[in-house]
Chains A and B, each alone.
Chain A
Amino acid sequence: MLDNGQKREKLVEVSDLKMHFPIYAGLFRKHVGDVKAVDGVSFDIFDGETLGLVGESGCGKSTCGRAVLRLYDITSGSVKIGGREIGATPQGDLRKMRPTMQMVFQDPQASLNPRMTVEGIIGEPLSEHTDLDRKGKLAKVHELMDAVGLNRAFSSRYPHEFSGGQRQRIGIARALALNPKFIVCDEPIAALDVSIQAQVVNLLEDLQKKLGLTYLFISHDLSMVRHIADRVAVMYLGKIVEVSPRDALYSDPLHPYTKALLSAVPEPDPDVTTDDRVILQGDVPSPSNPPKGCNFCTRCPAVMDICHENEPEFREVSPGRFVACHHHNETTN
């Protein structure tokens, strides 16, 4: 496959990214703590690949995706896109870089301005970042609508006049308008019907092949990620616990959390026994007050004493496979 052998260029490099949201409480709104939504995340995305980012809801996937594009002002860490550091760039300067990095949002209803027509929505970035005239802009809008499979005749309609799948296509066309290299897909299919999900995912794949796009594909749907991603990152409580090539991760998960997550995927064959499922007990700890040591130590089926004491290091245990777990620290030591 693509990722075998040849070394490819890193398009996105994220290291030790932290996004903390302050909590204010009390009479004088004192700063009493932080919600550590993303707490020291590092990963790379190679040019032209799809990195799947999975994890249960509330683990910080979406925040991570938005922080990578600097839709938030991040707490600390570094984000490099195409070799340029954007971790601390002020929002004003970031504006000129937006054409290379775009986002497809989760909720196709809420993420489109209800008072703009499709033409306005797709065409707005063009009038901001290019100097096409009216005609050129309309031609480009029509071209984009063709690319995502929308009828050109719909260009003067409003978002509420479309179905969910069509709206997500508008969102994708909008993201494509400026020929970006890198697109963060923030659960682009979570709000859609299963039948439409496949269409949208196939559209994203086709566009990737045609335009050489790089995706960060955020999802909680493991089978969809298996379908689209080249490599998969697993997130738990603000941290990445494992990054592996797709096939290796699905056949031989290293981290106990990944094992639990994979064993929770529904099995369509009724004769296959499900007794060997790893069922996690308890709830995810609060991200404002994560446990000492490993974040997963409160629910881990293979917990050891050291897990309550020290935070495991995120390290490469075999070529291309990274994991943060004390079990794998030992084997390599």
Chain B
Amino acid sequence: MLNYTLRRLMFTVPVLLFISFIIFIILDMAPNDPTGNLPMTIPPDVREKIRESLGLGQPLPVRYFKWCVQFFINEPLNIIDKMFDVCTWGCEDRLRVRSWATRSPVVDLIVERMPQTLWVVGMSYVVGIILAVPIGVISAYKQYSWFDQAGTFVSMVGFSVPSFFSGVLVIVIFSVQLGWFPSIYDTTLKVVDWDTFMMQIRQMVMPVMVLALQTTAQISRFMRASMLDNLNMDYVRTARAKGMKETTVLLVHVLRNSLIPVVTVIALGIPAIFGGAIITEAVFKVNGIGQLLIIGIQGADIPLVQTLTFIFAVLIVMFNLIADILYGILDPRIRYD
């Protein structure tokens, strides 16, 4: 297993370099202009100078190489400096990946926005899984019962209603009509005591609800299908013939075997948490990663978009690997040696 992991990790290096290059080329070919949002009164020759000062005058391979140096060498060194409070080589005037729009380092922007995204999107994922697993188990065990029919209906709704509709709907119901929850997520809120903690919970409820509906819909369907596959297996009959309690049969024999594919699906979904929920964050004004990405795309902020997209790619590759390893741990029939 360790050998397998190391070999896979070795392969990720060229894969990720290749991905970063592809992203760079695609962004370069995109027809937008970083000076496009500037006032119309700025004359064309000044715009051209601005572009050159951003580094756009140089050929593509040079720009790509410089980004690589900044991202793969300077940024990690900077993190080391910050963590251990030291000054490694060139810490005074080290070039960092800077956003064109805000002129601040991209990594700092991401660090600023990460907590909101992790709280809202991550919490919705956790809530979704906690709801989905029991729903899937009961739906499969009592197939075609009213519970199963209701679960199927809710999953269908969760799958098919987009978050820009369900988000606005819950705002209308819960904050406009009932006035229970604030419709705007307040990032400046600091949790210091019980009241602010409750405030934080209240402002999280609606976005978490909207996102959890989608997660629950997806995972409960997977869970149900996987349970149904296993419920009819011969070894389940063996377990019953042994005289096991029905709960043991269901939770030890069936559930454990059914969780194998579901855990993979869950692991593969985790990178999407860090990616944020672009639309839901926009609906509830959560200034998370998703919103940062949208702003970056609108302003043709290429370093920002490049870096964010590349970090998503790293997460996706890593969680694919984690899912594969988990699969090997959970299913003794799969060995990677």
Instruction: Identify which of residues 315-337 in chain B touch chain A, using a CB-to-CB cut-off of 8 Å.
Output: 330-333
In the assembly, what is the distance between CA of A66 and CA of B243, in Å?
14
What residues of B have a CB within 8 angstroms of the CB of A178 in the complex? 243
Interface contact A110-B243, CB-CB below 8 Å: no
Chain B contributes a number of interface residues (CB within 8 A of A) equal to 21
* Residues 107-146 (chain A) with a chain B CB within 8 angstroms: 107, 110-115, 124-125, 128-129
Q: Which residues of A contact B238 (CB under 8 A)?
A: 103, 105, 111-113, 171, 174
Q: Which of A48-56, A94-102, A253-261 contacts B (4 or more CB under 8 A)?
A: A94-102
Closest residue of A by beta carbon distance from B248: A128
Chain B contacts for A105, CB-based, 8 A: 234, 237-238, 241
* B242–A174 touching, CB < 8 Å: yes
Beta-carbon contact of A113 and B257 below 8 Å = yes
Q: Which residue of B lies closest to A160 (CB)?
A: B333
Flag if B235 contacts A112 (CB, 8 Å): yes
Contact partner of A114 among B235, B242, B248, CB < 8 A? B235
B245 interfacial contact with A, CB 8 Å = yes
**Cβ–Cβ contact A113 & B239, under 8 A:** yes
A128 pairs with B245, CB closer than 8 A = yes
Cβ of B41 to closest chain A Cβ, rounded Å: 70
Contact of A115 among B234, B237, B244, B257 (CB under 8 A): B257
A-contact 0/1 string along B230-264, CB 8 Å cutoff: 00011101111111111010000100110000000
Check: A71 CB closer than 8 A to any chain B CB: yes
The interface bits of chain A over 134-176 (1 if a CB of B lies within 8 angstroms of the residue's CB, else 0) are 0000000000000000000000001010000000000100100
Q: Which residues of B contact A124 (CB under 8 A)?
A: 239, 242, 244
A residues within 8 A CB of B333? 114, 158, 160
Pair A98/B243 contact, Cβ less than 8 Å: yes
The list of the 8 closest CB pairs from A to B, nearest first, reads A98-B243, A110-B234, A111-B234, A125-B242, A113-B235, A158-B332, A95-B243, A111-B238
Residues of A bordering B, CB below 8 Å: 66, 69, 71, 91-92, 94-99, 102-103, 105-107, 110-115, 124-125, 128-129, 158, 160, 171, 174, 178
11 A/B residue pairs, CB under 8 Å, sorted by A: A95-B244, A103-B238, A105-B234, A111-B234, A112-B235, A115-B332, A124-B242, A124-B244, A129-B243, A171-B238, A178-B243
